[in-house]
Amino acid sequence: MAQAVEDWYKQMPIITRSYLTAAIVTTIGCSLEIISPYNLYLNPRLVVKQYQIWRLITNFLYFRKMDLDFLFHMFFLARYCKLLEENSFRGKTADFFYMLLFGATVLTTIVLVGGMIPYVSESFAKIIFLSNSLTFMMVYVWSKQNPFIHMSFLGLFTFTAAYLPWVLLGFSVLVGASAWVDLLGMIAGHAYYFLEDVYPKMTGRRPLKTPSFIKTLFADEAVVVARPAEVRFAAPPVEEMRR
């Protein structure tokens, strides 16, 4: 059993493995009171006035207390982050990292701007960790890129992947979780999907082209097409050789 888990972990692509590890270590560290969540949450005032820049990153690593909701999000993170990195972004690690960076930037901007808008500022002020939203963004992007895959929700009903974000949003509402967190992930995911997949087809321009300095951080693996092992080439007929 331990060997199977180790093999599964080692087979994960680099970004998925790194994010999953950081999220689990951070959440367990907070549960054991080794790390204080008060040093991790998103606080614009502390970021600007006391230069606690790490909060822009750490608020994406903490998934609150270790309960059923935590297990659900670890499953979503391990599954859909891995599916995206291994399929849509295969051999494009820098592009995948840039997608997460774009999503984190959009989510942070929405929360900061929303906190300054009357009537909704109170709701945004309560969102101090964006880890669940970033996970939901990956689910949304995957569902948009694989809309026709058939899925089942707890064995109760089947649907296509295009409706997965809405099914999960409805489930969150049923269990009493905040719908805002999932909606933010959907907004960030749709922004990326539109700018990366829809807009370039409409205009021929790609606004989310990965910067070269990010590409230099990752040595993207080459996609190798292997020749079939048992293919043999017959010699030309004798008549053709005489010609």
pLDDT of residue 75: 84
Query: For 16-25, 81-90, 111-120, 187-196, which range has the lowest pLDDT when averaged over its residues?
Result: 111-120
Beta strand pairing call for 150-153 and 157-160: antiparallel
pLDDT value, residue 230: 46
C-alpha–C-alpha distance, residues 116 and 118, integer Å: 7
> What whole-number distance in Å separates Cα of residue 226 and Cα of residue 117?
57
Question: What is the 3-class SS of the chain, one letter each residue?
Answer: CHHHHHHHHHCCCHHHHHHHHHHHHHHHHHHCCCCCHHHCCCCHHHHHHCCCCCHHHHCCCCCCCCCHHHHHHHHHHHHHHHHHHHHHCCCCHHHHHHHHHHHHHHHHHHHHHHCCCCCCHHHHHCCCCCHHHHHHHHHHHHHHHCCCCEEEECCCEEEEHHHHHHHHHHHHHHCCCCHHHHHHHHHHHHHHHHHHHHHHHHHCCCCCCCCHHHHCCCCCCCCCCCCCCCCCCCCCCHHHHHC
Q: What are phi and psi of 141, to 5 degrees?
A: -65, -45
Residue 99 has pLDDT above 90, yes or no: yes
> Mean of the per-residue pLDDT values for the chain?
84
pLDDT tens, position by position, 196-205:
999 999 988 8
The answer on pLDDT for 239 being more than 60 is no
